[in-house]
């Protein structure tokens, strides 16, 4: 009589009936967009930006006449609201990443998407596109309203460079928001990162004016005064220091400066996010 032995059945490997594509940047973009539009801070900050730029701009348009636009562009009224609205862009940039660190959600994010560089890239792309579109649309609404209300013969001829300069100004503000996001990634604290960005905007004019008092450092003070955010935006929107329309929109040196500073901060954020623990 022969004895037969039975071997236990090997467990079969499980295969999910649902499709499981390989993660890519598109998934990260969809995730970051969902998070951006799902939090209240986005609605409040972007709403504050639009209301400030459009509200102050239209109020300025209502107080002007056709002859005023001989020396300023149609987009100039939006500049005054953008000087205040840029704060909303910077705050949103900080909250785009610092809010996840504050709530601990960043651990869930990096667990679901271990590629931190992909997540950070998606944050930069989603935020920058959203900020640029919102800022540009707000500025151009005011510019179109000014051209319709005061585009008569007394306003004089206007060129397309004015609109390109305004678009460059919107890009400048967007880059400030990207810089704020990078600072938020480095600091990982909302209040601290916002304080740093407010200092970047408000301290240079004060520091430049202080340095102008001493003759030895006056050239440095003069350079700082020419490179601060209000002056840079005024030049990009076609205004010189005296408020006249000039050739300033073609001078993109201040825009290049903020590109270099923002690029350095973004590079530092990738290094720090990749190295340290959450």
Q: Along the 278 residues of the chain, how does pLDDT read in single tens digits?
A: 455 555 555 556 656 666 666 777 888 888 888 888 888 888 889 999 999 999 999 999 999 888 888 888 888 999 999 999 999 999 999 999 888 888 888 888 877 777 889 999 999 999 999 999 999 999 999 999 998 888 776 666 677 788 888 999 999 999 999 999 999 999 988 899 999 999 988 888 888 888 888 888 888 888 888 888 888 898 888 776 434 434 433 457 888 989 999 999 999 999 998 887 66
**Straight-line distance from the first to the last Cα atom of the chain, in angstroms, rounded to the nearest whole number:** 67
The separation between CA 243 and the C-alpha centre of its own chain, rounded to angstroms, equals 26
pLDDT at 243: 40
User: Could you tell me the two tokens for 9?
Assistant: 């059945």
d(CA 114, CA 108): 10
Contact 277, 112 (CB under 8 A): no
d(CA 213, CA 17): 74
d(CA 33, CA 28): 8
d(CA 170, CA 176): 10
Q: Is 136 exposed, middle or buried (0-12, 13-18, 19+ CB in 10 A)?
A: middle
**DSSP label of 152:** S
Q: Which of 52, 95, 50 is nearest to 187 (CA)?
A: 95
User: Could you tell me the two tokens for 29?
Assistant: 């973009």
Contact 91, 43 (CB under 8 A): no
Other beta carbons less than 10 A from residue 219's beta carbon? 11
d(CA 56, CA 139): 11
Q: Which of 180, 201, 207, 202 is nearest to 191 (CA)?
A: 180
Look up tokens 């400048």; give the residue.
Answer: 172
Give the DSSP H/E element, type plus range, for residue 131. Answer: helix 116-150
d(CA 60, CA 150): 12
211 conformational bin, left if phi > 0, alpha if psi -120 to 50, beta if neither = alpha
Q: What's the pTM value of the predicted model, to 2 decimals?
A: 0.85
């Amino acid at each position: 009589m022969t004895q037969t032995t039975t071997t236990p059945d090997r467990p079969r490997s499980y295969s999910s009936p649902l499709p499981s594509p390989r993660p890519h940047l598109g998934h990260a973009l969809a995730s970051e967009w969902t998070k951006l539009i799902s939090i209240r801070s986005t609605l409040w900050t972007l709403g504050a930006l639009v209301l400030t730029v459009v509200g102050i701009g239209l109020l300025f348009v209502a107080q002007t006449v056709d002859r005023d636009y001989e020396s300023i562009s149609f987009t100039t009224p939006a500049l005054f609201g953008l000087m205040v609205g840029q704060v909303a862009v910077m705050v949103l940039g900080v909250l785009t990443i610092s809010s996840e660190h504050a709530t601990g959600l960043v651990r869930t994010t990096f667990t679901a998407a271990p590629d931190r560089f992909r997540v950070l890239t998606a944050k930069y792309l989603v935020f920058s596109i959203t900020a640029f579109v919102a800022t540009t649309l707000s500025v151009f609404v005011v510019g179109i309203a000014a051209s319709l209300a005061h585009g008569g013969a007394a306003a004089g001829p206007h060129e397309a460079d004015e609109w390109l300069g305004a678009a460059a100004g919107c890009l400048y503000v967007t880059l400030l928001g990207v810089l704020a996001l990078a600072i938020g990634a480095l600091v990982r604290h909302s209040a601290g990162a916002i304080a740093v960005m407010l200092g970047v905007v408000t301290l240079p004019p004060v520091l430049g004016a202080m340095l102008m008092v001493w003759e030895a450092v006056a050239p440095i003070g003069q350079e700082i005064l020419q490179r601060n955010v209000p002056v840079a935006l005024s030049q990009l929107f076609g205004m010189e220091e005296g408020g006249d329309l000039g050739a300033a929109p073609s001078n993109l040196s201040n825009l290049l400066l903020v590109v270099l500073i923002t690029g350095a901060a973004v590079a530092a954020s990738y290094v720090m996010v990749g190295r340290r623990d959450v």
